[in-house]
Amino acid sequence: MIGILHRYVLRELLKNFALTAIGLTLMFGMGGGLFNLIRIDQISPGDVARLLLWFIPLVASFMLPIAALLSCALVYGRLAADNELDACKASGINILRLLGSAIGLAIVVGAFSFWLSNYKVPQLFQRIDEIAQHNIEDMVVAKLKDQGHLSFTKNYIIYADDARKLNEEETQKVLGENDPRKQVVLIEKAAFIEFREDDPVRTGTAEQILLVFDKSKTPMSMTIRTLRARIFDHQRLQFTSMASLPLGLQQLPAFLSGSRMRLKFLDLSELLYYQDHPSETPAVQGKLKRFRLELAGLSEAAQILDSMRHSSMAVLKSPSGQEYRIRAKRAKLDDQARRPRLELLEPTIEQVEGKHVRIYRASKGDMTFQANSDKQNSPDSLTISFVLRDNVTLHDPQETSKPVQQPTPFEPPSVQLPLDAVPNRISYSDEQILNPALELPLPASLQQMRKDRLGDIRDIQRQITAAIHSRLTMSASTLVLVLLAAALGILLRGGHALTAFGVAFVPTVIVVLVITTGRQLAENNSTAILGLATMWGVIALMALVDAAIVFRCIRR
Give the whole-angstrom CA distance, residue 260 versus residue 531. 19
**CA 79 and chain centroid, separation:** 50
Does 36 score more than 50 pLDDT?
A: no
Task: Tell me what pLDDT residue 464 has.
Answer: 92
Query: 290 and 415 share a domain?
Result: yes
Residue scoring higher pLDDT (524 or 194):
524
DSSP conformation letters of 33-77: HHHHHHT--S--HHHHHHHHHHHHHHHHHHHHHHHHHHHHHHHHH
Task: Tell me what pLDDT residue 33 has.
Answer: 47
Q: What percent of the chain has pLDDT over 70?
A: 83
Domain presence at residue 439: no
Q: What is the mean pLDDT of residues 383-405?
A: 86
Does 46 score more than 70 pLDDT?
A: no
Task: Tell me what pLDDT residue 518 has.
Answer: 94
pLDDT band per the 50, 70, 90 thresholds, residue 534: very high
Task: Tell me what pLDDT residue 465 has.
Answer: 93
Domain presence at residue 447: no
Mean pLDDT of the chain: 80
Does 517 score more than 90 pLDDT?
A: yes
Domain presence at residue 452: no
Q: Point out the domain boundary residue: 199, 230, 250.
A: 250
Query: 501 and 468 share a domain?
Result: yes
Tens digits of residue pLDDT in 446-473: 888 888 888 888 889 999 999 999 999 9
Domain presence at residue 512: yes
Q: Point out the domain boundary residue: 378, 408, 427.
A: 427
Query: 412 and 472 share a domain?
Result: no
Query: 121 and 33 share a domain?
Result: yes
Q: How many domains does the chain have?
A: 3
Query: 246 and 111 share a domain?
Result: no
Q: Classify each residue of 449-477 as buried b or exposed e, where b means 16 or more C-beta atoms within 10 Å of its C-beta.
A: bbeebeebbebbbbbbbbbbbbbbbbbbb
* 480 HSE (CA, 13 A, CB side): 23
Q: Tabulate helix, strand, coil % of the chain (nearest 5).
A: 55, 25, 25
Query: 107 and 7 share a domain?
Result: yes
Q: What is the mean pLDDT of residues 170-196?
A: 81
Alpha helix positions (H), 348-443: 430-433
Query: 245 and 288 share a domain?
Result: no
pLDDT band per the 50, 70, 90 thresholds, residue 379: low
Q: Point out the domain boundary residue: 250, 270, 300.
A: 250
Query: 219 and 355 share a domain?
Result: no
Tens digits of residue pLDDT in 270-301: 899 998 888 888 878 878 888 888 888 888 88
Q: What is the mean pLDDT of residues 332-360?
A: 85
Task: Tell me what pLDDT residue 82 has.
Answer: 80
Give the whole-angstrom CA distance, residue 278 versus residue 271. 10
Query: 465 and 547 share a domain?
Result: yes
- Domain with 200, as residue range(s), is 155-250
Query: 334 and 423 share a domain?
Result: yes
Does 376 score more than 50 pLDDT?
A: no
pLDDT band per the 50, 70, 90 thresholds, residue 516: very high
Query: 501 and 542 share a domain?
Result: yes
Q: Strands 364-372, 356-361: parallel, antiparallel or unpaired by DSSP? A: unpaired
Tens digits of residue pLDDT in 403-453: 888 888 888 888 887 776 666 666 778 888 888 888 888 877 788 888 888
Domain presence at residue 142: no
Query: 228 and 334 share a domain?
Result: no
- The total number of residues shown for the chain amounts to 556
Tens digits of residue pLDDT in 110-156: 899 899 888 888 887 777 666 666 667 777 777 777 778 877 655 67
Task: Tell me what pLDDT residue 377 has.
Answer: 44
CB 493 within 8 A of CB 77: yes
